[in-house]
Every structure is written in C-alpha cells, then in structure tokens.
Amino acid sequence: MSTERIQTNLNEFRDRIEELYRFRDEYFLQNSENLYVRKRDVIETKTMKIFEQLAHIDEEEKKALDKAEYNFLLGWLLNIKETYDPRAFEYLTKAIKFDPNKIESWLQLGECYFKNRNLSAAYDCFQKVLEINGSEKRALRNASIILRSMSTSNDGGCLQRQEKIIESIELAKKALKCDLQDYDSWAVLGNSYLTLLFLTRQNSERDQLLSKCKMAYRKALSDRIVQTKSDVLYNYSSVLQLDEEFTLSLQCLSEAYRYDPHWTELAKKKEQIISILNDIDQLKNDKTVIKPKKLNSIKESLRLEESRLQSIYQNDAKFFNGQTKAIDELQEGFNDCLLMTKILSYVPDNHNLFFYAIYLSIDSTGRSIIIFIYDIIKSKGPRPGDNLLIIRPIFKEYSIKFENNLYKWKAIRVLNPNKDLLINNNLIKSECLSMPNVSITLKSD
C-alpha cells in the first residue's frame, strides 16, 4: 500500500475520533433522557470498536506510517474516558518520543497526568505546549486548572495559595483573550474565582469575587453543551448556595444529576439541603414549646440587658450610642442599631453543607427570628441560652420554592462575627473562626 494511502487511512481514523469526541459532548443534546444513563457504556463500545481497528493495522502498514501520529491517535482515543488509562499514557509518551514538538500529544499527556493526580507533571506538559505556542488556549486553560488544583492542597501558607490562584485566574483570562467564546475557559475562570473567594477574608473583596464568579459561570452556561456538564452545574450550584439563591442552586443540582445519574452524591446533597431547609422552616416554630413563665423570664432579662447597653454605650458611635431595636422594627438590609437576643435552639449541619451556623433567637418582645452566623466553627459557636449582641444587624426575608415546597422565613445575617457580634458580652476568639471550605469538581466530559 502506498504511503499516501496509509496517511489517508490515518486521516480517516482522526476524523472518526474527532466525531467520537463530538458525539460525547453532544450526547445529551442528541438523545432522549431515558438514554442518559447509557452514555458511558455507549462511548466505551464505540471507543473499543475504533481501537480494535486502529491497533490492529497490518504490520507492513505500521512500518510506513507516521509513528508520532499513529501513537497519538491511539492515546487520544483512549483518553476520552474521564478516568486515567495507562494505555493512553503509554501511547502518548511514545508519540512524543517520535515528535517532541507535537502539541496535541503534550496536551493529551498533560490530561493523562492530571487524571492520575500528578499535577506537577501535568503542568510541565502544558508549559511545554506554551513554549511551542504561547497562545494555545487549551494549554492556557489547562495550566489554569492545574494551578487552581495545586492551591487547594495544604502545602504552603494562605498567601502562597492565593498567589497560585491569582496566576490561575490570569491564565484563564489569557485563554479567553485567545477565544472569548471558549465557554470551557469561562467555567475554568469561574472555578478559580470561587477558590480565591474562600481564601479571602475581607467581605468587600468576597462580594466582588462572588459577582465575578457568578458572571463567569453564567457566561459558560450560555453554551448548550456546557449546560449539560454536571461538574459545571454542581460548582455553579455551590456559588448560588453561597449567595443564598437556594431555588436556583437546587435546580442546578437536579439538572447535574439528570445528566450524570451515576454521580449519586448529587442526589444525596440535594436531599440533605432540603432536609436542612425543612429544619429551618420547623425551627421558626420552636418558640411555641417555651412555657409562659420561662418566656417572660427571658424577655425581662433581655430588657434589662438592653437598658444596660443604653447606659454603657450612650456615647459610643460604634455601638450606635446604645440604641437597640426589636426584631419587628428592623428593615430589609443593614440596620444602624443594636439587636439583643437569646438563643433558643439551632439546626445541626452534620455534613457542613451550609456556609454558616443556624440558630433560632428571641428578642425582648418575645419575637423569634432565624440567625445565620458566617465563618464560625460550628462546634465552637454559641449555644442555646447564650445572649447575642448583634451590631448593625442585616435583615432578610427568604422565600424558597422547589419541587412544590415553599419555605418562608425571616433571618438575621452576621457576616463579620469577629466585628459585629458579642456572645454573652464577649468578643469571639479567633480560634472560633474559620474560612468555609468549598468542594470544586472537575470532570473530563
């Protein structure tokens, strides 16, 4: 067979592999929902059919073909799986030996290393691509992913982790400069913003990062294919939950599970969140179990405490000259006053799904309200019976509708407990505070 014919055969295999990747990416757009669960099996079957044909080319043909291209095609084909395949790694390593400047081989080898959790080797592969072509968007995007993943390890201090994340953000931005319509790069940028957000202590900066994060994810999810990617939907749901957009957050989790029914953790997390929402809904009624005598005692002790505050802080602007308000007097948003309450009960969050501790408190008028305290280690936070003095309370009304259920309550948000909260007239100790953690998930498809 002529060399030209052999090369034509390789080109045909390349076209078939490209078509297989396209089939993978568009699977949910081209198939009915009852076939979603079969995606992995269907792709595996198609992959092995092509592999058997490509791997068993006539030995005489193999001698004449482009060995770098041949080994690359085998490695690229097997690398379609979301998990590490040592055969793909072997073929791609061979491809690079035959052609050290083949960008596609370095890109796929980097993904192999990443799947095998060898982050430094993966990063070196993508850096090699950028040495060959500094504007290769896939290498920029993947290098960004690696740096963000490195930042989540416990190696190095917070500053070093922040530096890696900032570099990760810059790489994602460079990828978008190469192609502003690269929706995968928008998702990568969103992941990096989300990680940096949880390494940032200043609330003003966190608010800005949250806004940028949501914008990046929304841009990514404007693409029909990205809308079917369970990892992007999962990560976006975490952002929405952080911003207390619970309805949309739960919808994203439901959609993610619809597209990836093998990922049972999605359904479990959704049910756990709904369980806590039910607990919060029930919590607002807990005051009814307090006996009248006990209730009157609590109200009287809080009134005495309010009088004491007015006396102590009458000339202290930070404490609004001791001016207190009752829950019913609060307006939506920030309130320039003090709020004195006593904790009645709390909602346990054994899975740390929420980014704050959840309490039910009562004021001197006997009115109860939910209180969310951010950045506090839940095991070291206040307990039932403790008095809370909240400085400049943030009042918010919630209405969450999901799957024919409606949850409604009013709550106080304490965003800076080290500045805006006293527990039994004491400041919160630094060892009781901690930055919340977030789980960011990446999948190959």
**Is the pLDDT reported for residue 204 higher than 80?**
no
Sign of CA dihedral 311, 359, 202, 213: negative
Q: pLDDT tens-digit profile of 389-403?
A: 999 999 999 999 999
User: Which residue spans of the chain are classified as CATH 1.25.40.10?
Assistant: 10-239
Higher per-residue confidence, 140 vs 162: 140
**Residue 291: per-residue pLDDT:** 84
Q: Is the pLDDT of residue 288 over 60?
A: no
Distance CA 49, CA 342 (A): 68
Listed range (8-17, 53-62, 116-125, 248-257) with the worst mean pLDDT? 53-62
Query: Residue 222, Cα to own-chain centre: how many angstroms?
Result: 18
- Token pair 């006293």: residue: 422
Which pLDDT value is given to residue 445? 38
Mean pLDDT of 343-347: 91
Instruction: Identify the pLDDT of residue 102.
Output: 98
Could you tell me where in the chain the CATH 2.40.50.550 domains are found? 282-432
Residues 108 and 92 sit within 8 Å (Cβ to Cβ): yes
pLDDT of residue 227: 97
% of the chain residues with pLDDT over 70 = 94
Higher pLDDT, 182 or 157: 182
At residue 339 the predicted structure's pLDDT band, cuts being 50, 70 and 90, is: very high
- For 216-233, how does the pLDDT look when each residue is reduced to its tens digit (9 = 90+)? 999 999 999 999 999 999
Q: Among 252-266, 276-290, 352-366, 431-445, name the most confident range.
A: 252-266
Residue type, 183: Y
Choose among 437, 85, 39: nearest CA to 263.
39
Report the C-alpha gap between 303 and 325 in whole angstroms: 11
Contacts of 168 (CB under 8 A, 6+ apart): 144, 145, 147, 148, 151, 192, 195
CA distance 362 to 54: 72
- Whose tokens are 């968007």? That residue is 137
Residue 179: band (very low, low, confident or very high) from pLDDT cuts 50, 70, 90: very high
Summarize the confidence of residues 275-303 as an average pLDDT.
85
pLDDT band at 444 (very low <50, low <70, confident <90, very high): very low
How high is the pLDDT of residue 58? 78
Average pLDDT over residues 406-434: 90
Give residue 333's pLDDT.
Answer: 95
Angle of CA points 119, 124, 126, to nearest 5°: 95
Q: What is the mean pLDDT of residues 307-328?
A: 89
C-alpha separations of 87 from 13, 51, 73, 111, 112 in Å: 18, 11, 12, 13, 10
pLDDT in tens, 81-106: 999 999 999 999 999 999 999 999 99
Confidence grade of residue 322 (pLDDT, cut at 50, 70, 90):
confident
Q: Between the CA of residue 116 and those of 95, 102, 382, what are the distances in Å? A: 19, 22, 43
State which of 154-168, 315-329, 342-356 shows the largest mean pLDDT.
315-329
- Category of 86 on φ-ψ map: left (φ > 0), alpha (ψ -120 to 50) or beta: alpha
As a whole number of angstroms, the distance between CA 162 and CA 145 comes to 14
CATH class of domain segment(s) 282-432: mainly beta
Query: Which pLDDT score is estimated for 16?
Result: 97
Among 29-33, 38-42, 184-188, 343-347, which stretch is predicted with the lowest mean pLDDT? 343-347
- What's the rounded Cα separation, in Å, for the pair 81 and 77? 9
What is the spatial distance between Cα 17 and Cα 15, in angstroms, rounded to a whole number? Answer: 5
pLDDT band at 151 (very low <50, low <70, confident <90, very high): confident
Topology of the domain comprising 10-239: 1.25.40
Report the length, in residues, of the chain: 445
Residue 359 and residue 410 in contact, taking contact as beta carbons nearer than 8 Å = no
| Model confidence pLDDT, tens digit, residues 67-86 | 999 999 999 999 999 999 99
The confidence band for 439, taking pLDDT boundaries of 50, 70 and 90, is low
Summary mean pLDDT of the chain: 91
